[in-house]
Structure 1
Amino acid sequence: MTSLQPVLVIIGCGGMGLAIAKRLSSGHQVLLADASSATLKSAVEALQGDDHAPESCNVNVRKFDSVSTVAQKAASMGRIDAIVHTAGVSPMHGTCQLMYEVDLLGTANVIEAFFPVLSPGTSLVCTASIVGHQPKLSPEFESHLATAPLDKLLQHPELDFEANSGVAYTVSKRANLLRIQAASVQWRTKSARINSVSPGVIATPMSKAELEGPLGPHLVALNKLSISGRMGSTEDIANAVAFLTSREASFITGTDLLVDGGVLGGQLWGQGG
């Protein structure tokens, strides 16, 4: 490895993040960031090679300064080629407050913290969700989610902190799509791109826990709508991210790539749709 290699940043090193890191690590200096030291250690060991070793650091995506520290560390390593943000909390594992802070504000923090260190050609891909395509929010609320300053983002009368965590998750993932659309306008000033992928039901430890919990029947029903006839894999997500961060996707920015096996199509137009 030489210092001339561009930098790949992975924020969130669980099932999806690790699969993406493995898929994209060749030819890159790798910086891994996660809230969990144990997860970081496991990811570093999984990526360790004879000729290279990834850098790592802890991050709390709820805190802008923490994310900014990761961005500055990445910039100190060289030109940042790709940033992949997969850190998130599922409805089963968090309250509304935590969901909004991690899944909504956390993504906004990543988008803004990395802006000062962008280079021409840098690509950011955030993990959203199929549920972000489903809610019908008011135009005023959507505008707020897309453009509100970080310190005001979680201050809106339509953000219901007393709702169930599933509602908070859905709103947060809708916000991710809107935020990315809006941010693409600013990112173009640095010749950088920003997109998201929206997974359907993907086989990860997090989804396994969800399948065994109260949301299990709903996820099973969703998976049955999959036109592909199977559950998605972390490799499916990694392949999509690899495309979005590649030169072949140089005309793609400010948008979302559904990686759901056709579930949304099945919901809208399948039997009983």
Structure 2
Amino acid sequence: MNTEVSVVIGNGGMGRAIARRIGAGRRLLIADHREEAVEPVAEQLRDDGFTVTAQSVDVTSRDSVAALARTASELGRVTRIAHTAGLSPAQAPVPAILSVDILGPALVLDEFAQVISPGGAGVVIASNAGHFYPGTLSPEDVHALSALAPEELASHPLLNRDRYADGSIAYQFAKRAAQLRVQAVAAGTWADHGARLNSISPGVISTPMGRAEIDGGDQKLVRGLIDSSAVKRLGAAEEIAAAAEFLLGPSASFITGTDLLVDGGAVAAIATGRFDPTAF
């Protein structure tokens, strides 16, 4: 079967932008938790010349993710996978953030390792928030987040919602966990299948999720990240899509197991003392 398949999980602004970047000339499989939300997007893509299959998926369920991986493999050779599904503090309570943003990537990387073609590539959308998580992770914590099966990780004390003072801290932790998982899996099962894997850590992006954060309970922190950054603006979903296209393509053939910051310089501002996120 010579048909190449690109998979995009998550139907938010970044997911839709990435789908348009990596779907042309291939079979495109897009998935989201709500089928009624993803099918109209698929129909618009079809009108624009893409060959699209849409499917619902619950990224916290191994059976659901495995079913999506089977669909992808039945469509052709799976060569590009972008996992963009996630929840922010403005969208969900702490338990949901921990589940979707930690277990979701772990399950997707597990199941799609079984169907990714040699020479293929994947990208997980994390966040620059993972770079300024204020907590301390022991070597045992890092091992758990990197290597435990998702089912074991779900009951680990690290995912106890009482550990986190608020959704913002839980979100920062979850995105740090995603970065660690990608690094470990890139060197493990994905390498064993001859495929590359990286994460992208966006800053504040002008998507419905990003705009909700600007107006939410953490708006001072979010606005501070924008104002202290070198470019002093919101990012566009298309800029994240461009980074994903690069990491999934042949120009990035020597890049795997790393996290690419696409945040306009916000983390650089934190690292150099120009901005202190713990003050908010």
1:187 maps to 2:185: no
AA paired with 2:259?
A: D
**Aligned equivalents of 2:275 and 2:129: distance in 1?**
19
1:97-246 to structure 2, matched below 5 A, reads: 97-135=95-133, 136-162=136-162, 163=164, 164-185=166-187, 186-246=189-249
Cα drift, residue 50 of structure 1: 6.2
Mean Cα deviation higher: 197-206 or 209-218: 209-218
> Unmatched 5+ residue regions in structure 1?
none
TM-score (norm. length: structure 1): 0.95
SS in 2 for 1:43: helix
**Aligned equivalents of 2:197 and 2:10: distance in 1?**
17
**Aligned equivalents of 2:234 and 2:204: distance in 1?**
6
1:128-163: per-residue Cα shift (whole Å, max 9, x none)? Answer: 000111223222111110111121112333433122
AA paired with 1:99?
A: I
**Aligned equivalents of 1:167 and 1:152: distance in 2?**
22
Counterpart position of 1:21 = 19
SS in 2 for 1:121: strand
TM-score (norm. length: structure 2): 0.92
Mean Cα deviation higher: 228-237 or 37-46: 37-46
AA paired with 1:151?
A: E
SS in 1 for 2:7: strand
**Aligned equivalents of 2:275 and 2:261: distance in 1?**
22
- Does the Cα contact within 8 Å between 1:225 and 1:270 map onto a contact in 2? no
Q: Give 4+ residue runs of structure 1 displaced > 6 Å after superposition.
A: none
1:64 maps to 2:66: no
Counterpart position of 1:264 = 267
Cα drift, residue 270 of structure 1: 5.2
Paired residues, number: 271
- Does the Cα contact within 8 Å between 1:198 and 1:260 map onto a contact in 2? yes
> Unmatched 5+ residue regions in structure 2?
none
SS in 2 for 1:48: helix
Give me the CA root mean square deviation.
Answer: 1.5
- Does the Cα contact within 8 Å between 2:201 and 2:263 map onto a contact in 1? yes
1:28-79: per-residue Cα shift (whole Å, max 9, x none)? Answer: 1100100122320232133123654310100000101101100010000110
SS in 1 for 2:159: coil
Distance change in 2, residues 1:51/1:201 (3 Å):
closer
Mean Cα deviation higher: 243-252 or 154-163: 154-163
- Does the Cα contact within 8 Å between 2:127 and 2:202 map onto a contact in 1? yes
**Aligned equivalents of 1:260 and 1:272: distance in 2?**
14
**Aligned equivalents of 1:231 and 1:116: distance in 2?**
37
AA paired with 2:239?
A: D
Cα drift, residue 174 of structure 1: 0.7
Distance change in 2, residues 1:180/1:272 (3 Å):
closer
Paired-residue identity, % = 41
Cα drift, residue 271 of structure 1: 3.5
**Aligned equivalents of 1:58 and 1:112: distance in 2?**
18
SS in 1 for 2:11: coil
